[in-house]
Chains A and B, each alone.
Chain A
Amino acid sequence: MKTIAIIDDSALVLNGARSVLEPEGFKVLTFDKAGDFDPATNGVPALFLVDINMPEFYGDDIVDYLRDAFAVTAPIYLFSDVDEVELARRAAACHADGYISKRRGLNSLPTIVKTIVGPAH
């Protein structure tokens, strides 16, 4: 079973993402603070989704933190509702592997995730 880690300060988004990904067979780890993620206890996810606008740091800096602190090699995607032009620019600037716009709706999330990591099992 593949694990998707989502870092977002919105409980609504975290719960919504979980509600659409788990029925598709994914294990979903949710964090409202990036500092709560630890691969020693959480394992290494197949994909990270990182919100941009969070209270302490922008997601752009969290991408670097995940890579540097834990040598994460799994894809890291920005996950935000900022407009797609800006989202694409920021994903490229922070060397994220890509981005997923929340504006596409949570129902489209499983399909997008599968195109990135393949089937859940």
Chain B
Amino acid sequence: MRDPELQDVLLKVRYPDAPGRDDLATAISAGFLFVATEDVTRDLVDVALTLEFPGLLSPVALTTRIVSRVAANPAAGQAAGLLLALQPATEVERERLALLLSRLRPPRVIARAQPFRLLLVDDSNLAHKVIGSAVARLQRSYPSRLVEVVFASTVVDAIAVLGRERVDMALVDGDDLVRAIRADATHHALPVLVIAGGGRAARDTAVRAGADLVLDKPLMLKPLLSTITALVTSLPTGVAP
């Protein structure tokens, strides 16, 4: 049974003891963290990890302990993963965790001088419609524009957008644009989220291409947008994450 206090999020998980390996945290509460991973048989009890979100949240180092290993159960709508107890080892870590949780709370009503601009590059008409609709819904809850989506269907269109408009983050289906961005003198540091559809192999390919965060299909849209919005609104304008 799911802990009712678990809040849906999407954060990148990295492990200091396993450089190059990363997973996605999909839910968090004050006491627990769920990490979606195929690797649920790791012979570990205590897991040191960092949580981050490209461009919006610098890595937060935490100490955790495995509570249970969850096998994938598609019939129950359950992804494989690890349920971890958050166990701050020091007062500093306790404060770090409290700050992280406060930043992930639902967005406050604030005014931003400029909306956070997300470039969506996807040749799927459905993706444009569904993501555009989800962002528009999000906007209706706030008095000012917090997040704005700019659409492109091809790499060529996306490059053109980057050349003429301010973009804070790119959400891309496929690896080609990531390589183009990383090779570009002006935009090489742009945070890029890649939507990958082929499991671990596709994830690894996207990371090698330069993706900051790899998201699986189907896209977990609400957790993604709520995490971005919470982090954007908890970040004082002009302050680095």
Chain A positions within 8 Å of B, measured between CB atoms, are 33-35, 52-58, 60-62, 64-65, 68-69, 80-83, 86-87, 89-90
Contact = CB atoms under 8 A, between A and B. Distances in A.
Given A35-B125, A56-B124, A62-B130, A82 B219 contact: no
B218 A55 contact: yes
Given A57-B219, A89-B2, A68 B75 contact: no
11 contacts: A34-B130, A35-B126, A52-B77, A53-B77, A55-B218, A57-B130, A57-B221, A61-B130, A61-B134, A64-B134, A86-B76
Interface string B213-241: 00001111110000000000000000000
Contacts of A89: 2
B136 interface: yes
Contacts of B42: none
Contacts of B75: 81-83
Contacts of B130: 34-35, 56-57, 61-62, 65
B136 A60 contact: no
Contacts of A65: 129-130, 133-134
Contacts, number: 68
Interface in B133-167: 133-134, 136-137
Contacts of B218: 53-58
Contacts of A58: 218-221
A33 B218 CA distance: 13
Contacts of A86: 76-78
B127 interface: yes
A35 B124 CA distance: 9
Contacts of B78: 86
Q: Interface extent on B, as a size class? A: 20 to 34
A90 B134 CA distance: 17
Interface in B168-204: 197
Contacts of B197: 55
Given A56-B219, A61-B219, 16 more contacts: A35-B126, A53-B77, A56-B126, A56-B217, A58-B221, A61-B134, A61-B221, A64-B137, A65-B129, A69-B133, A80-B77, A82-B77, A83-B77, A87-B77, A89-B2, A90-B77
A77 B95 CA distance: 43
A34 B137 CA distance: 18
A68 B136 contact: yes
Nearest to A59: B218
B20 interface: no
Nearest to A70: B133
Contact of B126 (A34, A53, A87, A90): A34
B74 A53 contact: yes
Contacts of B129: 35, 65, 69
Contacts of B219: 56-58, 61
Given A35-B129, A81-B75, A61 B136 contact: no
Contacts of A57: 126-127, 130, 218-219, 221
Nearest to B132: A69
Nearest to B2: A89
Q: Which 7 A-B pairs have the closest CB atoms?
A: A35-B126, A82-B77, A86-B77, A68-B133, A61-B221, A83-B76, A65-B130
